[in-house]
Amino acid sequence: MPRGSDLVLTVAQMQAAEQAVFDSGVSVDALMERAGRGAAEYVWRMASGRAVTVLCGPGNNGGDGYVIAQVLRERGLAVRVVAPREPQTDAARNARQRYQGEILADGSDVSGAVLVDCLFGSGLTRGLSDELVNLLQGLASRHHHCIAVDLPSGVQSDSGAVLSPLPRYDLTLALGAWKWAHYLMPAAQHMGSMHLVGIDVDAEAQRDFVTPRVLARPHFMAPPRGAHKYTRGLVAVVAGAMPGAALLAAQSAQHGGAGYVKLLTDGAQVAAPADLVVDQRPLGEALADPRIASVLVGPGLGRDDLAVQRLEQVLFLKREVPTVLDADALMLAAPDRWPAPSNRPIVVTPHAGELATMAKAFGTPPNKGSLADKVHQAIELDWLTDATVVAKGPDTVVFQRDLGMVLAPAVSSWLSTAGTGDVLAGLIASRLATGSDPLAAASEALWLHGEAARLAGPVFTAGALANMVPAAYAACL
């Protein structure tokens, strides 16, 4: 079985993957049959014996719909096909001819339990006509559930842009490989649950340096029997004007796998938990500890001259200590206070506003491609800074040009509360201290962060989120 279930392809890559299948002797009709039958299995389960309506468009996505409808009809379900346009490809015409039920051109009076949207797939580049928007919205409103095959009709696959109004989808069935729109906002918020339907295309063969993988659950090991706090990694968290944020990040780092976490306060007194070491020595002296395995700077740092001094002390360390820059540190970052290229791993964790600020500061060129601005900015910022970029938000992109790209699935929207970014930054620093490379550390931390949010339930604080990390960690052992 070809690999690639975790790869995310562009439209061009998917077309090339399909062409490779055709070149091997498999016909377009046969591949369509695979896709339609695979999707029909999910529709069958959701329908649970109830009536299904399949909305078929003029292209091969519509052809998949005819296959789905025929499979369900053969299994005894009540199926209606609505096709407002005649098929425009040979494979879609052949699939329509094989369908043995009635085909309606007008779906204005059609209702049922499940609507299957096969109107348009991943190749869409412009919005739907008002007529088709009204048809799709009307059908969706008269059905209890809505399933999108490959992508919801009205979504641009490579950028995640929404080109037309969308109904609410309960399920999206990706055909052959994941597409960018499955994980990028604003399209990602409309997908509902997502499942991949394998059709035996070799997505791996299409991979290039910006082809992402989907974030997956990491696998951790318990510390070896001879481990001690330093062999497991010492994290140094730099405090600043608002020490509460640094305390949150330190608390999170304590749960992320590192054996030792220190809060560096540069002379300030901070009320900290008994199990967190506070180092009040001058920052330069505290950072000189050769046992430090990673440094985090930014949460609660402030943006005054003292904050700039602290940031520069971290950035211009003589040792190549893995470093995470978050929050205020990102707003203060600039080319004239950025270290020269080296082997030192640096991870930056900007949200949308911080990413835009950094892109402006470092001179990220305008986006002239088809990918989302967020992806473009992350790639360009990596090239300009040598940093691993964690462009976080409702959709999160991680990029490091030598290690790859990861897209994180949507997680709990309850994470939209103050301090949760500090928790993520602490986790990344902790994973770096354990020895993970920057891309792996960011990915591991993102998974732990999302799982902790799931376990925390609704209306949690950042402190409560950090306290759920051990339970999330346990799921990785």
**369 or 322, higher pLDDT:** 322
Query: Domain limits at 19?
Result: 8-208
Instruction: Determine, yes or no, domain membership for 220.
Output: no
Q: What is the rounded average pLDDT of the residues 77-89?
A: 97
For residue 345, what are its two tokens?
A: 């791993």
**Contact present, 279 and 271 (Cβ < 8 Å):** no
Instruction: Determine, yes or no, domain membership for 222.
Output: no
Q: What is the rounded average pLDDT of the residues 216-228?
A: 96
Residues 417-464: tens digit of each pLDDT: 999 999 999 999 999 999 999 999 999 999 999 999 999 999 999 999
**Alpha-carbon 20 to chain mean position:** 28
Tell me, yes or no, whether 250 and 191 share the same domain.
no
* Boundary of a domain, candidates 208, 226, 251: 208
Instruction: Determine, yes or no, domain membership for 119.
Output: yes
Instruction: Determine, yes or no, domain membership for 225.
Output: no
Query: What local confidence, expressed as pLDDT, does residue 366 receive?
Result: 87
CATH assignment of the domain containing 332: 3.40.1190.20
Rounded to whole angstroms, the Cα distance separating 47 from 50 reads 5
Query: What local confidence, expressed as pLDDT, does residue 234 receive?
Result: 98
Residues 274-317: tens digit of each pLDDT: 999 999 999 999 999 999 999 999 999 999 999 999 999 999 99
Rounded to whole angstroms, the Cα distance separating 456 from 54 reads 38
Checking DSSP bridges between strand 213-214 and strand 79-82, what pairing results, if any?
unpaired
CATH assignment of the domain containing 66: 3.40.50.10260
- Residue among 372, 375, 161 nearest 152 (CA): 161
Instruction: Determine, yes or no, domain membership for 273.
Output: yes
For residue 333, what are its two tokens?
A: 């970052």
- How many other CB atoms sit within 10 Å of the CB of residue 170? 16
Tell me, yes or no, whether 180 and 244 share the same domain.
no
Q: Assess whether pLDDT exceeds 90 at residue 244.
A: yes
Q: Assess whether pLDDT exceeds 70 at residue 185.
A: yes
Percent of the chain at pLDDT exceeding 70: 99
Count how many domains the chain has: 2
Percent of the chain at pLDDT exceeding 90: 94
Query: What local confidence, expressed as pLDDT, does residue 1 receive?
Result: 32
Q: What is the rounded average pLDDT of the residues 220-225?
A: 96
Q: Assess whether pLDDT exceeds 50 at residue 2.
A: no
Q: Assess whether pLDDT exceeds 50 at residue 104.
A: yes
Stated pTM of the model: 0.95
Query: What local confidence, expressed as pLDDT, does residue 205 receive?
Result: 92
Q: What is the rounded average pLDDT of the residues 368-391?
A: 93
Tell me, yes or no, whether 122 and 176 share the same domain.
yes
Query: What local confidence, expressed as pLDDT, does residue 123 receive?
Result: 86
Query: What local confidence, expressed as pLDDT, does residue 4 receive?
Result: 47
Query: What local confidence, expressed as pLDDT, does residue 115 receive?
Result: 98
Instruction: Determine, yes or no, domain membership for 113.
Output: yes
Residues 11-30: tens digit of each pLDDT: 999 999 999 999 999 999 99
First-to-final CA distance of the chain: 28
Q: What is the mean pLDDT of the chain?
A: 95
Tell me, yes or no, whether 332 and 187 share the same domain.
no
Tell me, yes or no, whether 132 and 177 share the same domain.
yes
